[in-house]
Amino acid sequence: MTRGSPHDAVEVISSKRDGASLSRSQIEWVVDAYTKGVVADEQMSALAMAILLNGMDRREIADWTAAMIASGERMDFSGLSRATADKHSTGGVGDKITLPLAPLVAACGVAVPQLSGRGLGHTGGTLDKLESIPGWRATLSNEEMVAQLESVGAVICAAGDGLAPADRKLYALRDVTGTVEAIPLIASSIMSKKIAEGTGALVLDVKVGSGAFMKDAARARELAEVMVALGTDAGVRTVALLTDMDVPLGRTAGNAIEVTESVEVLAGGGPADVVELTLALAREMLAGAGVTDVDPADKLADGSAMDVWKAMIRAQGGDPDAPLPTARESHVVTADADGVLTRLDALAVGVAAWRLGAGRERKEDPVQAGAGVVWHARPGDNVTAGQPLLTLLSDTPERFDRALAALEGGYRVDPPGTPYDARPLVIDRVG
């Protein structure tokens, strides 16, 4: 304990280790002390593990989230001429929804301050995808962000260093100490940034399935309920959709190839599942912002969402009409027999895309803009022997073997006539 401090790290760790509820004073002290370097990484690691094993009650999670928010700045969009709404996805494979969603909601009259991140492991990052567009930049000042929201209506950018710095430090620690799965810490990590961001309404896309962080529907629902409660208690109109991630979204997993697919959606086409989820989330965001007289499907059809997309990309230095990078090498995986594709595992596809160069193992690793996986059939489709099922893309063909290893058992063709029962894309709604 430092002189004049009300607590010390060992006391706080021991309390949670023994199953006690941490007081607000303990939580405020330990988060602040860790942010300032008074509490060491090994001490916070021990506390995070105690939280993973013993959990936190709703009051503790709310206090922890408030302390994370208090570690930095809070943004204020109250001066904008329209309401704000944001969306957060817990991460999946082929999850390019943010790209068409932000301009679509803006075209309906609601401003979208979308703070996004980079991919790590098998889940893709929105900023990595957008950085495949020539000239586009992820880093904006708060003043630039507010100005773009007023003039364009949508912004997708990186969170500034001043937003919940305690979370940035703790997230990196959790990633290397086996404590990422702690629901109280997941919920407070996500919600501290979203509440500090200052949006008026928030829609959470909580993925469930093999390619998601949450494999089990019950745990995904628990996480959704905790986050909705945190948002609601903080005065943010918050709802969550539980959505399927056993099968990857759309037809592509990568960076530039997902941008191409997103533009197809904005042009009124694109894969049916991507369109379905984009519209479902858009309607929830609009409802949270109090806009109920606009159908977002109309804004895809009339081109106005595409207009906002182009304006948003240009405002951040990008050229929306420039050719996107393409991979130098490709490898095609074909069907061994006639039949029905009954399995396309999201995790297998995500790991394959990651190994091809679309993702990173460490946060400082570069990504290949053109790398990834394209699938030419979805579960339930009839296929014929020799038909292309997947195309692997990479600048470095020596990566193909490890990507193919990731796909072993990740897809299956059963005999003709085999029934396939698809799980609904939107499984449940919380809030």
User: 65 is written with which tokens?
Assistant: 């989230």
Q: Is 167 marked active-site?
A: yes
**Nearest to residue 312, comparing CAs of 126, 58, 176?**
126
Q: Is 45 marked active-site?
A: no
Q: Is 189 marked active-site?
A: yes
Q: What per-residue confidence (pLDDT) applies to 407?
A: 98
Q: Is 220 left (phi over 0), alpha (psi -120 to 50) or beta?
A: alpha
Q: What per-residue confidence (pLDDT) applies to 175?
A: 76
Q: What per-residue confidence (pLDDT) applies to 5?
A: 67
Q: 329-414: which CATH architecture? A: Alpha-Beta Complex (3.90)
Q: Active-site residue among 7, 118, 129, 174?
A: 174
Q: Active-site residue among 193, 221, 251, 355?
A: 193
Where along the chain do its domains lie? 9-55, 85-315, 329-414
Q: What per-residue confidence (pLDDT) applies to 363?
A: 66
DSSP structure class, residue 160 = P
Q: Is 88 marked active-site?
A: yes
The DSSP string of 395-424 is S-GGGHHHHHHHHTTSEEEEPTT----PPP
Q: Average pLDDT for consecutive 10-residue bins of the chain (431 residues)?
A: 71 96 96 94 96 95 95 92 96 95 98 87 87 96 95 94 88 84 92 93 97 92 96 95 98 98 98 98 98 97 98 98 98 98 97 93 82 98 98 97 98 97 95 90
Q: Active-site residue among 7, 16, 87, 88?
A: 88
Q: Is domain 9-55 classified as CATH 1.20.970.10?
A: yes
Q: Active-site residue among 15, 71, 189, 394?
A: 189
Q: What per-residue confidence (pLDDT) applies to 178?
A: 85
Are 85-315 and 329-414 the same fold in CATH?
Answer: no
Judged on CB neighbours under 10 Å (0-12, 13-18, 19+), 219 is middle
What residue type is assigned to position 300 of the chain?
A: L
**Which residues are registered as beta bridge partners of 375?**
390
Q: Active-site residue among 167, 205, 244, 345?
A: 167
Tell me the fold of 85-315. Pyrimidine Nucleoside Phosphorylase; Chain A, domain 2 (3.40.1030)
Q: Is 174 marked active-site?
A: yes
